[in-house]
């Protein structure tokens, strides 16, 4: 694994992928909150189909982002940042990565379980499980709980920590991920 520890900032690619994920998640949440609830016989509407497509896009970008992170490393922590903050930041980052995989996969499994097609634009994606496969009905509820409560909480903590570093500590933590 190559480490870019001598650099004070993330690479341009890492920054782009970070902000792209944020933008995709923002659109995904707007679509999720405006689409109809998915029940037993809900037809796939435009918003539901868009939500499924955006989920596949988020998952794809998350794979690229994780591969970039693993192969290019991250900058050394800013001087003066307490070790507990560095450790908690790493924990939150890795939990966010985990959720960027788990949440879309659970949604895709639930769509498969319901017999709903999942598309990446015009390309129909394979079903991950058989329609109404026993033991998988829980995936939609867990998908919703993880995204609504856990992901939003972690994203909020992440944003608050960045703002704390920028406005209270006045260190360079936030600038390392800003474009430019």
Phi, psi angle pair for 119, to nearest 5°: -115, 145
Would residue 30 count as lying in a domain? yes
Tokens (6 digits) for 78? 């800013």
Would residue 176 count as lying in a domain? no
Specify the DSSP class assigned to residue 123: E
Would residue 24 count as lying in a domain? yes
Domain tally, the chain: 1
Would residue 174 count as lying in a domain? no
Would residue 134 count as lying in a domain? yes
pTM: 0.91
Local confidence pLDDT in tens for the 180 residues of the chain: 444 444 578 999 999 999 999 999 999 999 999 998 888 788 888 999 999 999 999 999 999 999 999 999 989 888 888 999 999 999 999 999 999 999 999 999 999 999 999 999 899 999 999 999 999 999 999 999 999 999 999 999 999 999 999 999 999 899 999 987
Q: What is the CATH number of the domain that holds 84?
A: 1.20.950
Contact 137, 65 (CB under 8 A): no
Would residue 177 count as lying in a domain? no
Would residue 47 count as lying in a domain? yes
CA 83 to chain centre: 25
Domain assignment of residue 19, given as a range: 12-169
Contact 24, 61 (CB under 8 A): yes
- Taking every pair of Cα atoms in the chain, the longest distance, rounded to a whole number of angstroms, is 56
Q: What pLDDT shows up at residue 4?
A: 41
Would residue 7 count as lying in a domain? no
CA 16 to chain centre: 14
């Amino acid at each position: 694994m190559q480490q870019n520890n001598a650099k004070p900032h993330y690479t341009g690619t890492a920054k782009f992928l970070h902000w792209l994920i944020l933008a995709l998640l923002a659109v995904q949440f707007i679509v999720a909150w405006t689409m109809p609830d998915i029940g037993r016989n809900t037809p796939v509407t435009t918003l539901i189909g868009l939500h499924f497509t955006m989920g596949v896009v988020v998952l794809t970008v998350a794979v690229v982002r994780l591969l970039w992170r693993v192969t290019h490393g991250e900058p050394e922590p800013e001087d003066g940042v307490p070790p507990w903050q560095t450790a908690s930041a790493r924990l939150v980052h890795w939990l966010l990565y985990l959720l960027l995989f788990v949440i879309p996969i659970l949604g895709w499994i639930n769509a498969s379980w319901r017999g709903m097609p999942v598309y990446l634009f015009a390309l129909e994606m394979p079903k991950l499980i058989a329609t109404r496969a026993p033991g998988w009905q829980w995936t939609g509820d867990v998908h919703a709980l993880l995204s609504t409560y856990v992901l939003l909480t972690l994203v909020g903590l992440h944003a608050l920590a960045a703002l704390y570093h920028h406005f209270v500590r006045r260190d360079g933590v936030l600038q390392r991920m800003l474009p430019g």
